[in-house]
Structures are given as structure tokens and as C-alpha cells.
Chains A and B, each alone.
Chain A
Amino acid sequence: MTAAVIILTLLALIFGLALGYAAIRFRIEGNPVADEIEAILPQTQCAQCGYPGCRPYAEAIAAEEAEINRCPPGGEAGIKQLAELLGKDIIPLDADVGIEKALPEVAIIHEDVCIGCTKCIQACPVDAILGAAKQMHTVIATECTGCELCIPPCPVDCIDMIPTKIDITNWHWGKPIPITTISEIADTRGEEVA
């Protein structure tokens, strides 16, 4: 009886020490969960979620301070991925934060209206606007994330969002629409006969 107690106590001690050592030795720097969450977030940096960027929102989710449905650019697909990662339920996008755009957009500055005030440059989270004081400004379309943060500061309202164009270089096949009902079949047959 005593022997068993001693052995078990010893074992508990050894494992405890081993675990304690491992916790120090193999400690991971930073917040790995937040990193993984951030990898899923679209990095638009639009702050629509209510946090000043994707990283702070990721940290808030990791700390369970925020729901996973506050990122409109990430949309449904993003929520699905987050839910999978965190083992949560898929919930619809929070309508208060915004809606998911059908097509990605980029900003464009109407250059003849721009007065060169540099306000938009200061607002852009990814340095996608090029310009200098009293000079015409322009958006580097490939760097723009479409966050719309440059629109409110513009005193002459010369910034617009335009959806990215689909051409044969970026087009891809859509999801097949299955033909299932009899009338649909009749339709396609009609087309073929005509």
C-alpha cells in the first residue's frame, strides 16, 4: 500500500517536472492562435470590424472578446474558415458591420478633381496612394485592398470605388448549375433542336 503511494507520488513528481521543463523549453513566442486567425483574415485593413486592423481583430478573436462574424471583406467563406479553425458554429455576417461585396473593388482618384491635399495618403493603411502636397494623387491599383478608408477624408469627394474587371486573364469557370428538373431538360433540348 505505502509502496504504491510512494511510487505514484514519485511518478507524479517526475511527470510534473518533465511537463514543467517542457513548458519552459518549448515555449512558443507570440500568440499562435492569433497568427492562425490573422492568416485567414483578408488583410484589407478596413477596420469595419471595429478594430484598427486585421491583426487587432485577430487578437480579439483569439482572446474570445469578439465574434467571428465581423469581417465583411472576408465574408461567408472567411467566417466558415474561422469557424472551422476555432471549432465554432458558422454564423451569418453581422449586419451592423457592413455587407460582403460581390466583386473586389479598388479605389480610383479622379485626377482632374484632386487638389493634392494628401489627406487620403494619411488614411490609406497599405500605402497604396501616391502623391505629394499640391500634386495630383493616384492609387496604385495592385496594392489597393479596397478598404474605402480614403473616401471620407477627401475634401472634394474625388475618390470612387470601382469593381475589378473580369477579362480572360483572370476569369475562371463558375460552379456548374446542375440540370435537375424536367422543364430544364426540355429547355436545353429545345435549344439544341433550334
Chain B
Amino acid sequence: MAQRPTDNIGKYLHNFPGGLKLRHHKALSCCKPLPARYLPLSTEYCIPVSQHLGQPAEVVVSVGQQVKKGQALSTPGKTGNAPGAFVHAPTSGEITAIEKRPVPHPSGLNSLCIVLQPDGKDRWVELEPVDDYRKLDCDELIQRVQAAGIVGLGGAVFPTDIKLQGTSCLINTLILNGVECEPYISCDETLMKQAPGKIIEGALILCHVFKIEKVIIAIEDPMDVCNLELEQSISEFNAGDCVEVIRVPMLYPEGGERQLIQVLSGHEVPAGQLPISLGILVQNVATVAAIRDAVIDGIPLIERLVTVTGAGIREPQNVHARIGTPIADLVDFCGGYTAGIARLVMGGPLMGLGLRNDQLPIIKASNCVLALTHADITSTQPEMPCINCGNCVSVCPAGLLPQTLQTVIRAENFEALESLNLDACIECGCCDYVCPSHIPLVDYFRYGKGEQRAQAKEKQESDIARLRFERREQRLEKQQAERLARHQRRKRALAGSSSKKDSVAAAIARAKARKQVLAANQPDTNSETGKGENS
């Protein structure tokens, strides 16, 4: 049998190009206390309807309605093929508003949110647990995952059901991504320590349904306690023959899907293709735990572990927060801000999103709330011209040429971006971090990607417009031709009848002529008699 890319996966570790060694700052928040505490009920939850890419979802509740914990509030829109996901009520209570509110999004625009006022009883809807997951087939599992509103919890928030749908039976290896490579964030590590069983069980469900032969749980080198917990749990589930924990060296951004695959298998996922092309499925550990909850207990995704950390927070820790909780409540729970707070970020320090205030809700993508102090951030530096030092090229984990990309985007030469593979940029920020000229490279790349996408959409729309225009022209031409044909037929018909008239006229003329001839032949008699008669 031919060698598959996954045959030797995990046997030796490989390298990906570039990457940065960063101070990880995880001890600040990790595992104080373990297990992580649950946030008390907030006074109001604001649940954004679109927490993912694509079309906004369809709201299925109305203002004033009483909902129970776990009840679906919106369904993925029916329109189009864009991915969408269900969102659910984080607790029981009343829907007080469905309106546009500020959400954590780089645009700073408001987006449709469902506002829920808890009644304090926290009553669940009727849950539908599965007693034996071995009876589930592929479609049932995907349907359950969809109904539970599960999305990738590593940060990409791509709907998991859609990722699984493309998977079917083509994969033989599942990689559980526990490599939380961005500094400060420790929610996955906390999860692996406090509930390793959930992760293993979730992995076994996926293994069973998709006939996966091998599971690799990838964790970072310093997470040694995790290793023990996971091993113990693996032996509890008797899964030692197919599940393996592998420690990978600490290097940012090793937690990127493609980078992790490259480290474990030595193979690069071809540009423009998905890991499936190598027979690999990568899932974040928290996503797999959520799949387990959805399948075994029937619980939808209504809460997640969030790391609240940074020197700007008094008691950094991980907390279980419901989706829709205001960030301010998390901060209060963790003792509030310290005096030097300068910046609030959702996500990590490299890829995170700066927030304007703390009244925004926690969404499914919020893995971390990071409060930085003045000491942590370098003040903004002026942007200098690129000196072609090549630092950015040597750290880019995707093997791109950031300085070339940057020049091309600055010149707005978006057509050239395709050949430079901008799509492969994972926006990790490594190039930005090392650039001695302080060029905001990632900002340029995001702009370039946005323009590329907008232009592709415009192209698509103009193609449709051209088609419609051509069809209309054809139709008009056809109608014109038909009209002409009709006219001609009628004219011919008219011409036909007029020739009849002519023949009639001719006949009359002929008759007249004959008469005249006759009259000429006997002029005298006729005229005389006539005259005589007349007189």
C-alpha cells in the first residue's frame, strides 16, 4: 500500500518555517482555582445573532417571550450557502429586546442582538441526551452538532457541523489541538486539566462516527500536568491503543491548524486545500468537549471557559462564562482592574481584538479577556519605510513574503496578490512583531484580503448583471423579430387583398373598355335611338 501522509504522524516532530519564541505569561491565570469557577447570573445577557462568518441567522423568538435555558434563539439563515450556527439562551428568562447593539467586532458596527433578562431560576429546556453514541451515524451526529450551535472554539468560530460535513470518511487521523500558543491564554490548558475525560470521550465519539484510526492530542511542552491528567483519562477510557498525547515544543504560532499538521506529520497542507486532503481533521480540545456535551448530555453551547488575565486584572483566572455575559461582569468577578490598565483586548496579545469598552458581550469566539497596562504596551511608533531587512520573511510561518505583499497592497495592485498567496496568511502577527520599521503589516494584509474579497464579489455580481443584460437583449431582439414578422405577414396579407382590389378594378376597367368598344362599333343607331328615347 502506498504511504499515506498520516502514516508516521507524530512519530517524529518536524518544523514549520519561521515562528517566534514568546514569553508565555500563562502562570498568571492558569489553574487558580481548579476547577474554574462559574460566574454568577448577570442582570442582562446580550447574545449577538451572528457570531460567525456569513449570513446573519434567523431569530426565532420574539420580544416578551419567556425562554428556558438552552432554548434556541436563532437558527442559521435559510438563505444561501453561507455557514451559520444556532445560538441558544444562556439561562431562563424573558426576551426584553431584539435590536442592534455594539458587539466585539473590528468594524465597531452594531449588530443584531437578542437581549435576555434572567428570571433567576435557571431552568433548562427538555434536553435530549443520547444513551449510546455508538448507535449514532454520521448524519445524526452532524445534525446534533448543528442543533447545539457548536463552532470552532479555538478562535476561528467556523461552524463545526459544516467542517464535519466535508469530512465524511476521508480522514484517518484526528488531531486535537491543545496547543495554546498565544501568550496569556490558558483556557484550553485549564479544560485539559479539569475535564480530560470530556475531551477523550468527545474524541472517541468522532472516532466512532468517522471511523478514525488515530487520535493525537497535541499539547505544548510546558503543560506537563496536562499530560498526566490526559494519560490517566485515556487509560480510564481504555483508549490507549488509538489516542496518544504528543508534546510539541513551544513556538508561536504552532497552534495554527496548518502549522500543527506540519510539525506533527512533516507535510504541508497544499495551498488552497484543507487538511482533509491529507486525511487529517483538526479540532480544538474545547470544541471536542462541547461535541461530547451535545451528544451525551444534549447540552447546547451556551457557555465557555474564558481566560481573564493580564497585569490590568487584580485576580487573573479562568472562569466559566455564559455567552452574552457583559465583559465588565467577568472583570468584576476577577477583582476588577488594577490602576495601570491601558488597553482591553479580546483574545491574545498578537491576534486579539482591541475593545472600546467593557460593556460588550462574551461571544463564542472569546477565549480570553486581556487587560494590559502601560508597561506591557509599547507606545505607537511612527511607520518608517521598509528597509528590506527580511526579518518578516524569516518569521512568517506560512512562508510568505510580507514585505513584498505590503508594497503591493500599498500600491493597490490587488490582482498581484493572488500569485503572492495572501490567502495563506494566518494573520498571526509575527511579521508585525519583528518589523524594525514598525509597519503595521497585518493591518495591510487584512485590508488587502478585504479588497480581494470585495473585488471577487463585485466580479461575480457584474457577471450576473452581464448575463441578465444579455438575456434581456436577446429577449427584446426576439420580440422585435416576432413583431417584424407579424407586420410583414399582415402587410403581405394586405398586399394580397389590395391585388384583389386591383383585379376588381381591372375587371371594371375591362368591362368599361368593352362597353366603349361596343359603343364605338354601333355609334349611330344607339345614339340616335338613345336620343330619340331621351327626348
Contacts and interface: CB of A to CB of B under 8 A. Distances in A.
Interface string B46-66: 000010001110000000000
A168 B466 contact: no
A178 B383 contact: yes
Interface residues of A, number: 37
B237 interface: no
B464 A143 contact: yes
Contact of B107 (A55, A126, A143, A168): A168
17 contacts: A43-B469, A53-B469, A54-B466, A125-B469, A143-B464, A143-B465, A143-B468, A145-B461, A145-B465, A166-B107, A169-B50, A172-B451, A173-B446, A173-B449, A175-B447, A185-B382, A193-B374
B109 interface: yes
B472 interface: yes
B463 A192 contact: no
Contacts of A168: 50, 103, 105, 107, 109, 111
A179 interface: yes
A171 B462 contact: no
Nearest to A143: B468
B454 A192 contact: no
A56 to B, nearest CB: 11
B413 to A, nearest CB: 9
Contact of B468 (A41, A126, A181): A126
B379 A180 contact: no
Given A43-B463, A172-B451, A125 B472 contact: yes
A152 to B, nearest CB: 19
Interface string B273-312: 0000000000000000000000000000000000000000
Contacts of B412: 77
B443 A176 contact: yes
A193 B464 CA distance: 51
A153 to B, nearest CB: 16
Contacts of B469: 43, 45, 53-55, 125-126
B396 to A, nearest CB: 19
B465 A174 contact: no
A179 B380 contact: yes
B155 interface: no
A188 B54 CA distance: 34
A42 B472 contact: no
Interface in B356-411: 374, 377, 379-383
The listed residue with most A CB atoms (<10 A of its CB), out of B103, B466, B472, is B466
Contact of B109 (A166, A182, A193): A166
A172 B109 contact: no
A189 interface: yes
Provide the main secondary structure of the chain A interface.
loop
A112 interface: no
B54 to A, nearest CB: 7
A172 B472 contact: no
Contact of A180 (B55, B106, B382): B382
A18 B26 CA distance: 74
B261 to A, nearest CB: 28
Most buried by B among A41, A145, A193: A145
A160 interface: no
A69 interface: no
B115 to A, nearest CB: 18
Interface in A138-194: 143, 145, 166-169, 171-176, 178-182, 184-185, 188-189, 192-193
B383 A179 contact: yes
A173 B382 contact: no
Given A167-B109, A179-B382, A185-B380, 4 more contacts: A41-B462, A45-B469, A127-B471, A180-B383
Across the A-B interface, the 7 shortest Cβ-Cβ residue pairs: A172-B450, A43-B462, A173-B446, A176-B443, A178-B383, A43-B465, A171-B107
Nearest to B443: A176
Contacts of B337: none
Contacts of A185: 379-382
A48 interface: no
Given A176-B443, A189-B380, A42 B107 contact: no
A118 interface: no
Interface in B23-57: 50, 54-56
A42 B459 CA distance: 8
A168 B107 CA distance: 7
A126 B472 contact: yes
Contacts of A189: 379-380
Interface in B451-480: 451, 453-454, 458, 461-466, 468-469, 471-473
B55 A45 contact: no
Nearest to A126: B468
B109 A171 contact: yes
Contacts of A192: 342-343, 374, 377, 379-380
B440 interface: yes
A14 to B, nearest CB: 39
Contacts of B106: 173
A144 to B, nearest CB: 9
A174 B450 CA distance: 8
Contacts of B50: 168-169
B444 interface: yes
Nearest to A180: B382
Contact of A167 (B111, B343, B380, B443): B111
Given A126-B468, A127-B472, A168-B50, A188 B379 contact: yes
A120 B258 CA distance: 53
A54 to B, nearest CB: 7
A127 B109 contact: no
Nearest to B111: A168
